[in-house]
Structure 1
Amino acid sequence: MPISSPLAQLPIRRLTSDDLLACADLSENRGWYREEYKWGLLLTAGTGYGIDDPSGSGLAACSVVTSYGPGLAAIGMVLVAERYARQGVGRRLMQHVVEEAGDTPLTLYATANGQPLYEQLGFTETTRAEMVRGHFTFSTPAPAIPVRPATADDLQAVLRLDHEIFGLDRTHMITRLPAFADHLRVAEEDGEITGFAAAWPNMDTHVIGPLIARDTPTAQALFASLAKASDRPLRTDIDVRHTALLRWAKENGIDSIATTSLMVRSLPDLPGDWRRRFAPLTVAAG
């Protein structure tokens, strides 16, 4: 059905936290987890866009944009109800989000199904991320790098390190971590914080993210510390260029589930230093 079809002309509105259950219903409709806890973060820290179902039942489509100022915004959770798939609804929503962004560069993680549409809208792939999941076995030890629970006194150092490595200020996301995550760890050597990572609850798993570290051994130490603190399966999305971390995780029972394409629009690549950025807080927020 072409973009000029009646379905593709449905009005788009801003979503609020009152739409959380409708967003979770739409996730479930497309075979995703409901992820209500994550939706709560995205709808309060970002801007949600939705198209109401013409039948009056829930949402026909939705998406969330997390802004990092004029330098970047991340698009996530682009969902279209199964009954409206391939009818121009998703394209309409994405075009609206791109227009709303104006001159702000955009990023997103794309599945194989969504990637062709994003390419048509000017997004290009910069790398891929591998989603991994499993019970950590501790078969291959992590390096003996000191890791401890984060405290309130660490916040400013964590924010400075994150700004340096992420490349943009995401204070509005990082300051939510102490309340959002079940576990927040920092790596510290010679009095300097060299990395940090969080594990937050998502359905029956703990998602590790963000994972920021000065090198692979530090990332491994943070990962192992979070694994020791959790009795759930772990899940995370690791940049495929971090081959050593992926290999070590798989040696410890963390299996590959899928890969996604990390794409950008109006930028040659993401800002910051990918060599020290091992996993996002969530792929939905960049």
Structure 2
Amino acid sequence: MKLSNENLELNELNESDTKGLIELSASVRWDYDEEEIRTLFSSAKNIYGHKNNEGKIVSSAAIIPYDNNLAFIGMVIVHSDYRGLGLGKVVTQKCVDNASGRSILLIATAEGKPLYEKIGFTVVDSVHKYLCSQYIPVKLAPHSGLTIEAVKEENLEEVIDLDGAAFGDKRSLFLRNRIKQANQCLVVKKDSRIIGFGLSILGPVNLTLGPVVAPDTGIAELIIDYLASNHKGNLRVDVPSGNEKLMAYLEQTGFIKASNPPVMGIHTNKMPYRNNTLFAIASQAYG
């Protein structure tokens, strides 16, 4: 039953709202936990949401600005009891209005796509969501002269630069926060120079792999194998379009494509320039 007669107030949320955001996420079967919400608050410019008469959060959306011209909108959720009231449009529009004229991207659910189109978003690309309940290692081609090791503090600027060229904008604050949250953060070196990296994030349901940045598919496969091999449980990886070879590898190792959601943009009609080294995104909230 929709509760349209309530006085629903739009608020800017803060860290005291963490529990309410986790509960809202769980209501739509998304697996945000306290660490994920902490990274969101420390990386986002603003997080907005409606609260009902009892103070319960019934909608949310976050705007995450990156270093130069790009921003991402994530965690757009409306509680099922409050759908059809226009709350999703209001919180998303609030994020758009507070993005300071930046190009804005988001990854849409099937339910959300018509809402975003009404605001002015258009489809500019897509991603491929892959899930795995049991990882099956396959023999990979040997790579001589490479070392794989955990990231160190002195590596961070190099990793941020690699990510920026791969993603299409530097995202220094977010990446530092994400590395703190990570279950693992690996760098691949050749002749002491970092040529790729990958993160894994352990959530309540999945170990999510990404971002993964590499000079070619073979090294991306190597990073994913290192991140996935010792995990006994569910895995998730979201792959940008154009990476068919990597997707074929994932399917050999037990991953199954679950969906192919669109990437949508406003104040832009195309993806930012990328150098074809991004093989897995950080998440659908951050791109």
Give yes or no for TM over 0.5.
yes
C-alpha distance in 2 between matches for 1:142 and 1:131: 25
Q: How many angstroms does 1:274 deviate by?
A: 5.8
Equivalences for residues 1-286 of structure 1 within 5 A? 10-46=8-44, 47-53=46-52, 55-134=53-132, 135-141=134-140, 143-144=142-143, 146=146, 147-273=148-274, 275-286=276-287
- The one-letter code matched in structure 2 to 1:22 is G
RMSD of aligned Cα (Å): 2.0
Q: How many angstroms does 1:268 deviate by?
A: 2.7
CA offsets, 1:97-133, max 9 Å, x none?
2222241111100011111111121111122111111
Q: Which moved more, 1:43-52 or 1:224-233?
A: 224-233
Indicate conservation of the 8 Å contact 1:111/1:259, yes or no: no
Does the residue aligned with 2:127 lie in a helix, a strand or coil? strand
CA offsets, 1:205-255, max 9 Å, x none?
211111111211111111111112433322111113211101101100111
Indicate conservation of the 8 Å contact 1:142/1:220, yes or no: no
- The one-letter code matched in structure 2 to 1:167 is G
C-alpha distance in 1 between matches for 2:231 and 2:141: 16
Indicate conservation of the 8 Å contact 1:161/1:195, yes or no: yes
Q: How many angstroms does 1:56 deviate by?
A: 1.0
CA offsets, 1:119-175, max 9 Å, x none?
121111122111111122113435536322222232222122122222322110122
Q: How many angstroms does 1:44 deviate by?
A: 2.1
Indicate conservation of the 8 Å contact 1:22/1:59, yes or no: yes
Q: How many angstroms does 1:271 deviate by?
A: 2.0
- The one-letter code matched in structure 1 to 2:82 is Y
Does the residue aligned with 1:210 lie in a helix, a strand or coil? strand
C-alpha distance in 1 between matches for 2:286 and 2:48: 14
Q: Which moved more, 1:241-250 or 1:169-178?
A: 169-178
Does the residue aligned with 2:18 lie in a helix, a strand or coil? helix
Q: Which moved more, 1:66-75 or 1:135-144?
A: 135-144
C-alpha distance in 1 between matches for 2:73 and 2:207: 22
Indicate conservation of the 8 Å contact 1:65/1:285, yes or no: no
The 1:144–1:43 alpha-carbon spacing in structure 2 relative to 1, beyond 3 Å, is same
Does the residue aligned with 1:92 lie in a helix, a strand or coil? helix
Indicate conservation of the 8 Å contact 1:62/1:78, yes or no: yes
Does the residue aligned with 1:78 lie in a helix, a strand or coil? strand
Q: How many angstroms does 1:84 deviate by?
A: 0.9
C-alpha distance in 2 between matches for 1:143 and 1:240: 26
Q: How many residues align?
A: 280
C-alpha distance in 2 between matches for 1:33 and 1:204: 6
C-alpha distance in 1 between matches for 2:266 and 2:156: 31
Indicate conservation of the 8 Å contact 1:167/1:273, yes or no: yes
C-alpha distance in 2 between matches for 1:61 and 1:191: 47
Identity %: 25
The alignment's TM-score, normalised by the length of structure 2, stands at 0.90
Q: How many angstroms does 1:188 deviate by?
A: 1.5
Structure 1 ranges of 4+ moved more than 6 A:
none
CA offsets, 1:16-74, max 9 Å, x none?
11111101111121232343331221122112111111x31411211111111450110
Unaligned runs of 5+ in 2: none
The 1:270–1:152 alpha-carbon spacing in structure 2 relative to 1, beyond 3 Å, is same
